[in-house]
Amino acid sequence: MRTRKIFNIYLILCFIVLSLAACRTGIPREALMLSPESLQDRQLQTRIFETNDEKKLLAAAAAVLQDTGFTIEDSETECGLIVFSRVRDVTDYRDVLQSIALMFIGIYHPNAKTQKVLASLVTKPLGNKRVAVRITFLHIVWDKDNVIMKKERLNDPEIYDAFFSKLSKSVFLIAHDI
Amino acid sequence: MKKISTGILSLIIIVVLTACVASQKNIFEAPESQAALRSIQSRVFDFTDRNRMLRTVIATLQDLGFIIDTADETLGTVSATKLAGYVLRMTVSIRPKGADQMIVRGSVQYNLEMVEDPEPYQQFFLALSKALFLETNVNSMAATPHGTESPAAAKVMKDASKPEITEPRSESLYPKQNTQIHPVAKSWTGIWKVESTSTEGGGIWGLKQDVYIVKSTKASYYKLGGKVKGNNRLEGKLYTKAGSYPFVLSIAADGQSFKGKMYGWGGKTSYLEGTKKNSKKAASPLNIFKPWTGRWEVTRDNRTATWSLKQTDKRVVSVENSSAEIEGLASGDQLEGKIIRTNHKYPFTVRMSSDGLSFYGTTMDYLGRSMQLKGERKE
């Protein structure tokens, strides 16, 4: 009888906790606010090219991303948009060893297995033979149990510099029909 | 005892299940009132270029940290995702409203739920209207950072004999203005002699324009207030002791006259015609070849400074008694330059009003945020 009562209370508590968790809402206040960093982000992600031909620039960008193993998910040239993605295995043996070592002392440490990088590239004519190219990368990382470990925007300037340096080369090749 | 606890348990289960009824809603059933939600999610803009609107929406979403998932020019839709520990999905659609307006509607999904709180939508539309303002007035704020271009790539480009597409610029660019008509370019500021077909509205109107807001000055016979809509329209009200009368005016291309109508007493329409009286200041011979030379009272972020500028050909520099160090280049009625502080140079772009007595434009603060810059000629 007593165990039954405890079980009932336990069940009730479970229900309350579950229902509260299920009905939890709330968008962060700053989610749709322009952050002070937004201009720095824009500068990081944008370069200006001197050309009149927006479509050619888009083609050059598509070629660069294809070269680096991305596939095109969607495109709308009228708005100057191409969306790319790339899925790859990011298993790092050091990471695996670390998680095995930690497992021995009873700590579960998941290691990253799959990474999906999404990129959206937008061109914007500025007039005076200038077109701005803005690219944004974000990535989602899963562990070996397909649990999402990370989902965030990539802010490393090196990634953006590397892309734009490749793009300026590609633009040069296309401009000269090489 | 057993009966009581079973009763309590079932009661709690029922309460819990009804509390979570939202999760069992039909997918087509709109939460809250459909009309209320639609009004929260929609805004009307005085803008007609569909493609530019779509591109501005895309740029705004990018500024807010989204990546664009898909866009469709024909449908006028953009979808985007933001990942920052949470998942935010936003779909924006645009459609024309009448001949000279557009409705922008955005819907936001936070994790798995539709956002019904008006505040995030207000923030989005605030960001969008800022971007649209810049889009129509300052064409590009996209500046390239210093020295981030890889030297190897830059070299490849420099060796080429003027390729069709050249290297990305690595120097910081000033915000460029396009040739679109600026609200200040057709300034409502001034003394107007107004004729009316009725007893109301005729006489002297003294107006002062502050970006989009137009107010009456002391010189005015009437108390007036209004907003500039589009390139040449002023919508406002004339206040008398008997009541307030709405009016709509449109300014002529030369900015020297306007025509319009007013819904006067008893709902009767009276027609208004105004001509600009040249004020004493404007009547003084302005040097049209060196319009920037002179002393200016400049307001930026509620702080006022006095700029003493000297123009030689296109070059404009500050002279000794200026409270800020300025250097810039004038072209047409606009001036692009830098405000020089000890450690920083703040780029600015301003455009002079048609009467040469004021200018208006944008600059950046030390965080790179865009801010307004206004100047009035002192002498």
Output the six-digit token pair for B375. Answer: 């100047």
| C-alpha triplet A78, A84, A88: angle, nearest 5° | 175
Nearest to residue B314, comparing CAs of B327, B300, B305, B297?
B327
* Residues B343-353: tens digit of each pLDDT: 777 888 888 87
Cβ contact (<8 Å) for B65 and A38? yes
* Residues B256-274: tens digit of each pLDDT: 888 888 887 676 788 888 8
At which residue do the structure tokens 């009272």 appear?
B297
Cβ contact (<8 Å) for B168 and A15? no
* Residues B149-173: tens digit of each pLDDT: 333 333 333 333 333 333 333 333 3
Choose from B53, B68, B137, B178 for mutation: most chain A CBs within 10 A.
B68
* Residues B186-218: tens digit of each pLDDT: 578 888 888 888 777 888 888 888 777 888 888
Q: Report the range out of B93-97, B130-134, B277-281 with the highest average pLDDT.
A: B93-97
Cβ contact (<8 Å) for A79 and B71? yes
CB-closest option in B6, B144, B364 to A46: B144
Measured distance CA(B177)–CA(B157) in Å, rounded:
27
Cβ contact (<8 Å) for A41 and B63? yes
Measured distance CA(A74)–CA(A70) in Å, rounded:
12
User: What is the rounded average pLDDT of the residues B3-23?
Assistant: 61
How far apart are the CA of A76 and the nearest CA of chain B, in angstroms? 6
Of B141 and B292, the structure prediction assigns the larger pLDDT to B292
User: What is the rounded average pLDDT of the residues B110-136?
Assistant: 85
Judge residue A43's burial from the number of C-beta atoms within 10 Å of its C-beta, 0-12 exposed, 13-18 middle, 19 or more buried. buried
CA distances from B168 to A64, A167, B144, B295, B350 (A): 16, 10, 8, 38, 25
Query: What pLDDT score does A150 carry?
Result: 84
Nearest to residue B95, comparing CAs of B75, B79, B80?
B75
CB-closest option in A39, A79, A130 to B73: A79
Q: What percent of chain B has pLDDT over 70?
A: 73
CA distances from B337 to B170, B260, B311, B346, B347 (A): 18, 38, 13, 8, 6
Nearest to residue A54, comparing CAs of A82, A30, A91?
A82
Query: What pLDDT score does A2 carry?
Result: 62
Output the six-digit token pair for B371. Answer: 């801010």
How far apart are the CA of A149 and the nearest CA of chain B, in angstroms? 10
ipTM of the complex: 0.77
Query: What pLDDT score does A17 carry?
Result: 59
**In the beta sheet, which residues pair with residue B206?**
B191
User: What is the rounded average pLDDT of the residues B97-121?
Assistant: 87
Helices (H), B78-231: 118-137, 151-159
**What residues of chain A score a pLDDT lower than 50?**
23-24
Measured distance CA(B149)–CA(A161) in Å, rounded:
6
Which residue from B minimizes the CA distance to A49? B168
CB-closest option in B12, B70, B168 to A74: B70
Query: What pLDDT score does B28 carry?
Result: 63
Query: What pLDDT score does B177 carry?
Result: 35
| C-alpha triplet A88, A94, A95: angle, nearest 5° | 65
Which residue from A minimizes the CA distance to B80? A120
Query: What pLDDT score does B175 carry?
Result: 36
* Residues B294-323: tens digit of each pLDDT: 888 888 877 888 888 888 878 888 888 888
Query: What pLDDT score does B179 carry?
Result: 33
* Whether B194 contacts B204, CB under 8 Å: yes
Nearest to residue B333, comparing CAs of B184, B127, B189?
B184
How far apart are the CA of B146 and the nearest CA of chain A, in angstroms? 9
Measured distance CA(A8)–CA(A17) in Å, rounded:
14
CB pairs under 8 A between A and B: 229
Output the six-digit token pair for B219. Answer: 């010189």
B59 contacts on A by Cβ (under 8 Å): 122, 124, 134
Predicted confidence (pLDDT) at residue B143 exceeds the cutoff of 60: no
Q: What percent of chain B has pLDDT over 90?
A: 11
**In the beta sheet, which residues pair with residue A131?**
A49, A125
Query: What pLDDT score does A137 carry?
Result: 92
Query: What pLDDT score does B24 carry?
Result: 52
Query: What pLDDT score does B27 carry?
Result: 62
Predicted confidence (pLDDT) at residue B342 exceeds the cutoff of 80: no
Query: What pLDDT score does B139 carry?
Result: 46
* Residues B221-243: tens digit of each pLDDT: 888 988 887 777 888 888 877 77
Cβ contact (<8 Å) for B16 and A16? yes
Predicted confidence (pLDDT) at residue B359 exceeds the cutoff of 80: yes
Helix, strand, coil percentages in chain B from 3-state DSSP, rounded to 5: 20, 40, 35
Spatial neighbors of B292 by CB under 8 A, at least 6 apart, are: B309, B311, B316, B330, B335, B352
How far apart are the CA of B172 and the nearest CA of chain A, in angstroms? 10
Nearest to residue A52, comparing CAs of A126, A120, A122, A134?
A126
The phi, psi pair for A54, rounded to 5°, reads -65, -40
Q: In the 8-state DSSP scheme, what is residue B68?
A: E
Nearest to residue B319, comparing CAs of B306, B311, B309, B328?
B309
Predicted confidence (pLDDT) at residue B142 exceeds the cutoff of 50: no
